Amino acid sequence: MHATADTGYSTHSARQSARRFAAPGWSRLKYLILISLCFAAAPNARAEEVISLALPIRCQPGLTCFVQNYVDHDASDKARDYRCGGRSYDDHDGTDIRIRNLEIQRQGIEVLAAAPGRVIGTRNDMDDVSVNTVGKAAIAGKECGNGAVIEHEGGWRTQYCHMAKGSVRVKVGDQLTTGQPIGLVGLSGDTEFFHLHFTVRHRGQVVDPFAYGATENSCGGGRSIWAASLGEQMQYRPREIIDYGFAAIAPTMELVESGEIGKHSVTSASDALVAYVRVIGLQAGDQQFLAVQGPDGASLAGNSVPALDRDKAQFLILSGKKRTETAWPAGRYTATYRVTRDGAEVLRKTFDIEARPR
């Protein structure tokens, strides 16, 4: 865009000079110069075109997948996202789009080419194991895990990391179209959870696709280079609920992350009835409340978490009780989760369940 504007300015200047220094034969020479300028400027104009990115994963942001981390915009050893929030970590150079759990991952969530281009690098042989299990030394130099790099026109490149072992279905030299499957979301490389790490670079420099061209130390600056068709799907969400429900036992983060908690559904004979919510992006100072009501509207259980002393990448809150009667009374049980900050409500979710016979 800038190169096109500069070309227009240069052409205008050449025409003004022609009027001041007109001479025999100049008219013909003028057009030759203008043609040369156009041919010289055209490649630069193409090179400076801003890329438009499609969603690089087959999911629905905010529903079946969630942005866990944004690009770090802080040059120090601290971290901040493009809105000056805490949804990043030090030196994070991409966008992490996560899925909920292992059960969903096993269904096969496709990673997609965000724009047309040529594959210039791949890896496909690393195991799907959390870095907490294998250690940093085991993945040194291969932090991306299984992945691919695509080169696009105009000096742009996109990188796709942490894909499942053996799932990468492209090879170096392949020409890809937008939305073409590359592989599947996995747990390879430097990661603790199932997600796609997506990095955008322009002429070797990391670009935040949510804030292209943002000035240093700005909040909310720059502009999105996500395709316009994505609309509100890629809007910034300071906090986000990614899991919620009821269980017949007290859920742990491991049970939720694996999807195994779904095997502990509540019946009228369950020993316990527990509501749970997993949320990402909580900030220091946030207060949480999770209350459960019985079918008659009376309070069954409640949990109040004091103001957080620091930002939390994710948090699991529970509220419930053990059964004290022969069976849970028939009817619907309702849970309400709230987050407040400085006395104002910033997040709320209400959900319910009916305790069915075993």
Tens digit of each residue's pLDDT (9 = 90 or more) over 122-141: 999 999 999 999 999 999 99
Residue range 45-50: mean pLDDT, rounded: 61
Q: Which residue has the tokens 């504007």?
A: 5
Is residue 355 within 8 Å of residue 273, measured between CB atoms?
yes
Report the alpha-carbon distance of residue 336 to residue 328 in Å, rounded. Answer: 19
For the record, the structure tokens of 172 come out as: 């170096």
Give the pLDDT mean for 231-258. Answer: 95
For the ranges 40-54, 161-175, 220-234, 242-256, the lowest mean pLDDT is seen at 40-54
Answer positive or negative: Cα dihedral of 324, 328, 331, 335: positive
Q: Are 311 and 282 in contact (CB under 8 A)?
A: yes
| Residue-level pLDDT at 35 | 36
- The answer to whether 69 and 87 are in contact (CB under 8 A) is yes
Q: What is the pTM of this model?
A: 0.83
Residue 45 has pLDDT above 50, yes or no: no
**Residue 330 identity (one-letter amino acid):** A
What are residue 183's phi and psi, to 5 degrees?
A: 180, -155
Segment 217-229 shows an average pLDDT of 92
